[in-house]
Structure 1
Amino acid sequence: MTKQTTLRESLGRLYPHVKPILPRLLLGLLCALGASLMALAIPQVFRVLINDALTAGGAESTVWIASGVVLLLGILEATFVALRRHFVITPATTVETNMRTSFYRHLQNLTLEFHDRWGSGQLLSRAMTDLNLMRRWMAFGLIMLVVTSLTVVIGVVVMFLTSWALALIFLGAALPLMIYGFRFRTSYSRVSRKSQDQAGDLATTVEESVHGIRVLKAFGRSREALDDFEEQAEELRQTEIHKARSLANFSMIVTLLPELALGASLVVGVLLAAGGDVSIGALVAFFATAAVVAGPVEFIGPLLAMTFAAKTAIDRHYEVMEAENTITSPAEPVRLDQARGEVVLDDVHFRYPDSPEGTRDVLDGVDLRLEAGETMALVGVTGCGKSTLLQLLPRLYDVTGGSIRIDGTDVRLVSLDDLRTHVAVAFEDTTLFSNSVRENVLMGSRAAPGAEAERAVEEALDVAQAHFAYSLPQGLDTLIGEEGLSLSGGQRQRIALARAIAAKPQVLVLDDPLSALDVNTEELVEQRLREVLHGTTTLIVAHRPSTVALADRVALMRDGRIADVGTHPELLARSSHYRYVIASLDEHPVDLDTVLEDTGPDETGRNESVQSGSARNDEEALA
C-alpha cells in the first residue's frame, strides 16, 4: 500500500496527466467563470432598473433596455456553459483513456507475485470506476469547485459594495461552515475509501462466482454463494448509507446557515431601507446577488464530496501504479539470436515472498543440465516444486539464489521479449482468451500474417490432435468463450499445447500438457510430439508413465532438489523413490469434462464404473 497523502499531494499526482490538456481546461474554467459573472451581473441590472425606471418620472425605455440586457446576459451565460463542456469533455476523456491504457500496460508488466496478492475485482474497479471518477472530477468537479469558490468570493465582494452591514451578517455564517467542513473532509474521505474498497471486493466475488459457476452448481453451493454475496452487498449498502448521511448532514448545514443569515439580513435590510440608509434598488440587488451566491454555496457540498472521492480514487490508482516491477529487462540486454537451447540450472534457490521465516526454500539448490535438443521429463511427488521450477525459465518468477543459463547466458541478462520468444510454456491449468481458435493458437507465434501463419496453425493443431477445431460452428474463426469454458478440459489443453508448439521456440516448457487427454488421443499426440520436439530442448513435467516415455532422460525431483537424473530404465534400477513415484502416476486418465458432457442422467452407473475402474488401476499400480 502507498503512504497516506494529503489532499493536495494526491490531486497533485494528476498534474503530469493534466498538463497536456491544461490550456483547454483553463479555457473551460474561464467559460464557467464567465457564466457565473453573467449570473452575478443580472442583479445589478435589477438595481439600476428599480432605482431609475420604477421611480416617479422614470423612462419607459429603461425597462426595455434592462430587459434586453438581461436577455443578452442570459444568452451569454448559456453560451459559456456550452463552451465549457466543449473545451473539457474531449481532452478529459483522452486523459482517462491514456491513464487506463497505462494502467493496463503496468498490470501486464507487474510480476506474478503481485497478481497472486491482488483480487481481480480490486484491479477491475481501479481500471474502470476509479478512472471514470477521476475523469468526471477533472472535467467537471475541479472546474466547478474553482468557479464556485470564485463566484462566492466575487458575490460577497459585490454584496459588501452594496451594503457592508448586510454582507457582514451573511459572512457570519462562514466561520461555522469552515469548522464543520474540516470535520466533513476527514470523515467523508475515510468512508469514501471504505466504500470503494468494498466495491472492489464485491466485484472480485462476482468474477469468482461467474468463473466458478460449474463448481457452484456441481456442489449445490449456489445458495451459500448468494448468502455470502448478500452479506458483502449489505456491508457496501451500509457504507453507502453512511456516506450519504455524511453528505446530507453537510449539505443541510451548508444550506441552513446561509438561509438563516439571509433571514437576519432581510430584517436588518428593511430597517436600513426604512431609515434611508439603503436604497430599495440596492436592497433588491443585495438579495438577488445573495440568491445567486446561495446556489454555489449549497453546491460546494457535492463538489467537495466528489473531490474527496477523487482523492481516494487517485490513491487507489497509484497503489497499483507505484507497485514495483521487480522482473525487468536489463539496460543492455544480451541477445539469443543463435540460441541452440542448452539449459543449465546452477544451484537454483527460490522462495515465495510471503513464505514464513525459517521455512525451507521451495527450490533448495537445484542443479540440472539439459543438452540442446534434449527432451527431459521432470517427475516427483506432489508439492516437490516441479511447476515452480518451470516458471523460472521464462522469468515468470526470478530465482532467489543461483542462476539459470541458456547457451551459457544468464536469463536475467536477456530482455524479456527475447527470452520469451525463445522459451514457450504450456501450463497444466490452461487459460484461453475470448478470441477465435486461430488467434489463441497464434498468440505465441512470430509467423508473418497470411499463408505462413495458416501453416503454423495447421501444423500446431495437427500435432496437438486438435482437429475438432475445424468442426466448430465457424471453424478456426469460432470464438471459444471466456477462458475457453465452452470447450472440454481435453480440448482446452490441446489448444494450449498447440499454442506453445506454434511459437516454435528453442526451449519448450510443458507442465503436464496431456493430463486431460484420454489414452488414445494421448498416444497420437505423443507420436507427433516426438517428431516436432526433435531439435527443441524440452522440459516436461510428467504425471503419468506414458509422458515419461517421451523423454530422452528423466530428472527425479525430491524436496526441492534434483535427487537423480538418468534414463527411465536406469532410474528404475537404482532409485527406490523413483519406483515409488512412477507407481503413483496415473496410467489411465480420463477427460472428465468430456465424459460428463457426453453422459446423460441415465448413464450415471456407467460413470461410476469408469471411476471405480480407474481406482482399481491405481491400486494395482501402487501394489
Structure 2
Amino acid sequence: MIAMLALAVVASVFSLVIPRVIQAVIDGPVVEGDTSGLWLLTAIIGALGLGEAFLVWLRRYIQAKVALGVEADLRRDIYRHVQRLHAGFHDRFQTGQLLSRATGDLGRIRRFAAWGMIFLVINIFTYLAVIAQLVQIYWPLGLVVAASAVPLFFLSRNFARGYITASRAEQDQQGEVANLAEETAQGIRVIKAFGRARHVTEKFDGGSAKLYDISINKVRMLSRSWAMFDAIPNLVLAAVLIGGALAVANDKMTIGELVAFVTLQLMLVWPIEALGWIIANGNEAMTAADRVYDVLDTEPAIVDRPGARDLPRAEAKGHLRFEGVRFAYDGTDKTVLDGLDLDVRPGETLAVAGVTGCGKTTMLSLAPRLYDVTAGRVLLDGHDVRDLTLESLRLNVATAFEDPTLFSMSVRENLTLGRQEATEADIEEALRVAQADFVYDLPWGLDTRIGEQGLSLSGGQRQRLALARAVIVKPAVLILDDPLSALDVHTEELVERALASVLAGTTALVAVHRPSTVALADRVALLEDGRIVAVGTHSELLESTPAYRAVLSAESDSVGAAA
C-alpha cells in the first residue's frame, strides 16, 4: 500500500509540474519571441509525461496484483471458516447468501481496495496541491475554486447517507436471487415432475423485479449526485475564465499564468466527478464487508477443546455410551432428546427404532459431533467426544446418511473422501459390500465424473456409493442412518449379507426406518419421547413391548404404501 501511494504521489507531482512548465513556455519563448529555450521546455514536458505514464502503469499493475491477492485470501478465509462452522449454522443460513458473500461481495471489497481507496488518497492530494498552486498564482480566483469544496462536502455527506442503505438492500436481494437460482438448479427434477416451472419462474421473476427496482433506485441516486458533481466544477471553471480574462486585461495576471491556472483547475474536474464513484464504491465495499463479517464473526460452536487429545484408530475399541443426553436445536425451545441413556458395546450392531420425527437422526449425529449435546455427554471408549480432537473423532466415527450427498468429482474421489490413502483393494471391498459394482460399467469406470449431487445416478446407486464411502474408512464406529431405504428388496438383502461380515468387527449404530433393516442388528433400542424406553433383541421386544410392535407395523405400512 505504501509503495502504491508513493508511486501515485510522484506521478501526481509530475502532472502538477507540467502546467507550470507550460506557463514558462507561454510567458517566455512565446511572448518574447525567443525560441531558443523552447526545445528544452518541450523536452521537460515530454519527460514528465512519459515519467507519469510509466508510474501510473507500474502503480496500477501493483494495485491489481495486490487487490486480487487480498480477494483470494479473503475467499480462502471464508471457505475455511465455513468448513469450521457447525451444522446448525448451515441449517439456517441460505446457500445462495453464502455464495453471494464469497463472490459478489468480495469483488466489491477488492474494487475499493484496488481503486477506490487509492483514488481517494490521490484525489485529496491532487485537490490540495492544485488549490495551493492556484492560490499562489492568483489568490482571489484560487479562493473561489477552494470555496467550491463547501457544496461538494454537503452533497457528498447526503449522498453517502442514502446510498449505504440502498447498497445494503441491493446486496441482500442479490443474495436472495442467488439462493432462488441455486434452489431451482438443485430441485429441477422435482419442479419438472410436479409441473411447477411456471410457479418457480414467477417466484424468481418477483425476486428479480425487486432487485431491479432496488438497483434502479440506487442508480437514480447516483445519477442525481454525479450530475451535481459534474456541474459544480464546470460552473466554477466558467467563473474562473471570466475572472481570469478580466485579471489579464487589468495586468493582474499574465497569459501564461491564466493558462496554467485553467490547466490546473481542469485537473480538478475528474477528481471531483470521480468523487461520486468513490463514495458509491466505498459504501458498497462497506456494506459488503459487513455481510462478509456476518459470516466470519460467527464463532464455530463445535471446536476442539483446550487439551483435546487424539484417539488413534489402532487404539479405538468402539465402545459408545450416551449418558443423560439432552438436546434441543439452536433457536428452538423444543427438546428433541431428554435424558437419553444407551450403551453400545464394542463390535455390537445396535438398531435404534422409533416413530418418524422421534429424534433418531439427531441422536446419531451426536456421536461424530455434527451437533453437540445440550446436556449430558457422549463417550467413545470412555472419553467424552468433546475431549477428542475433531479430526481423530471423525476418523473413528464414519456416517452414511439416508439422503446421500455426492460431489461433482470422480467416483474414486467420492469414495476416498474420508480416506484418501485407500488402496484399490480397499475400494473394491467397499464396492462389494455396498453392492456398487455398477461403477465399473460407467464410461470411465472409477474415473467417471458423476455430476453435481450425483444426479446422473439413481437414488439407490447414490445410497450404495455413500455406504461404500463410509465402509472404506474402516472406522471403529459406523453410523448408518437408514442407508438402504432407496434399495430394492433383492439388492437390500445382498447389501445386508455383505454388511454383516463388515460389521462383525465394528461397532454400528443403525437408525431403523424399515423393518427389514433390523436384521443387521444384534440388539434394538426403542426411542420414545426423547428417551430410550426399551433395549433388547428383536424377538424380545416383539414379545414384551407393544410400542415396538406398533413402530414396526407403522414402518411396514409406510414402506408398503410407498411401494
TM-score (normalised: structure 2): 0.97
Distance 1:441 1:130 in 2: 34
Number of the residue aligned with 1:48: 24
Matching residue within 10, 14, 27 for 1:34: 10
Q: Does 1:502 align with 2:502?
A: no
Could you tell me whether the CA contact under 8 Å between 2:156 and 2:279 is conserved in 1?
Answer: no
Q: Distance in 1 between matches of 2:503 and 2:266?
A: 82
**Which range moves more in the overlay, 292-301 or 394-403?**
292-301
Q: Quote how far apart the aligned CAs of 1:31 are.
A: 1.8
Q: Which sections of structure 1, spanning at least 5 residues, go unmatched?
A: 1-24, 590-613, 619-623
3-state SS of the aligned residue for 1:339?
Answer: coil
After superposition, give the CA deviation of every residue in 1:387-407 in whole Å (9 maximum; x if it has no partner).
110111100000001111011
Q: d(CA) in 2 for partners of 1:586 and 1:515?
A: 12
Cα gap change, 1:197 to 1:588, in 2 (>3 Å): closer
C-alpha offsets along residues 84-115 of structure 1, whole Å, 9 cap, x if unaligned? 02322223222221211111010000011111
Q: Secondary structure at the match of 1:503?
A: coil
Amino acid at match of 1:142: M
Aligned to 2:519: 549
| Aligned residue type for 1:344 | R
Among 211, 221, 228, the residue aligned to 1:253: 228
Structure 2 residue 366 is matched with structure 1 residue 389: no
Match for 1:494: what amino acid? R
Pick the aligned partner of 1:321 from 292, 296, 300: 296
Alignment partner of 1:445 is 2:419: yes
Corresponding residue number in structure 2 for 1:271: 246
Instruction: Tell me if the contact between 1:456 and 1:502 (Cα under 8 Å) persists in the aligned partners.
Output: yes
Name the SS of the counterpart of 1:549 in structure 2.
helix
Matched, 1:289 2:254: no
Name 1:482's counterpart in structure 2: 452
Residue type of the alignment partner of 1:104? Y
- Are 2:314 and 1:332 equivalent residues in the alignment? no
What is the alpha-carbon distance in structure 2 between the residues aligned to residue 573 and residue 384 of structure 1?
22
Question: Following TM superposition, by how much is the alpha carbon of 1:180 offset from its aligned partner in structure 2, in angstroms?
Answer: 1.5
Contact 2:8 2:56 in 1 (8 A): yes
- Extract unaligned runs of 5+ from structure 2: none
With 28-37 and 237-246 compared, the bigger mean Cα shift is at 28-37
2:69 pairs, out of 94, 118, 127, with 94
- Out of 169, 172, 192, which is 1:217 matched to? 192
Write the deviation string for residues 132-162 of structure 1: whole angstroms up to 9, x where unpaired. 2222222222111101111111011111111
Q: 1:531 aligns with which of 479, 501, 510?
A: 501
Q: Which residue of structure 2 aligns with residue 372 of structure 1?
A: 346
Q: Kindly indicate whether residue 99 of structure 2 is the aligned counterpart of residue 124 of structure 1.
A: yes
The count of aligned residue pairs is 561
Paired with 1:537 and 1:295, the residues of 2 have a C-alpha distance of 72
SS state of the match for residue 235, structure 1? helix
Q: CA deviation at 1:32?
A: 2.0
Instruction: Pick closer, same or farther for the CA change 1:579–1:402 going to 2, 3 Å.
Output: same
Q: Deviation of residue 588 (structure 1)?
A: 9.4
Q: Which amino acid aligns with 2:401?
A: F
Residue of structure 2 equivalent to 1:144: 119
8 Å Cα contact 1:96-1:131 kept in structure 2: yes
- TM-score by structure 1 length? 0.88
**1:423 aligns to what?**
397
Matched, 1:183 2:158: yes
1:461-496 deviation per Cα after TM superposition (whole angstroms, max 9, x unaligned): 000000100000000110000011110000000000
Deviation readout 1:430-461 (Å, 9 max, x if unpaired): 10011111111111126x3xxx5211111100
Contact 1:546 1:587 in 2 (8 A): no
Amino acid at match of 1:343: L
Choose the corresponding residue for 2:109, options 114, 120, 134.
Answer: 134
Contact residue 373 and residue 534 of structure 1 kept, 8 A: yes
Could you say what the CA RMSD is over the residues aligned between the two structures, in angstroms?
1.4
User: 370, 378, 381: which is aligned to 1:404?
Assistant: 378
Instruction: Give 1:147's aligned amino acid.
Output: I
Counterpart of 2:352 in structure 1: which amino acid? L
CA distance in 1, matches of 2:15, 2:203: 52
**Partner Cα distance (1:94, 1:288) in 2:** 38
Q: Specify the alignment match of 2:555 in structure 1.
A: 585
Whether the 8 Å contact between 2:233 and 2:268 is mirrored in structure 1 is: no
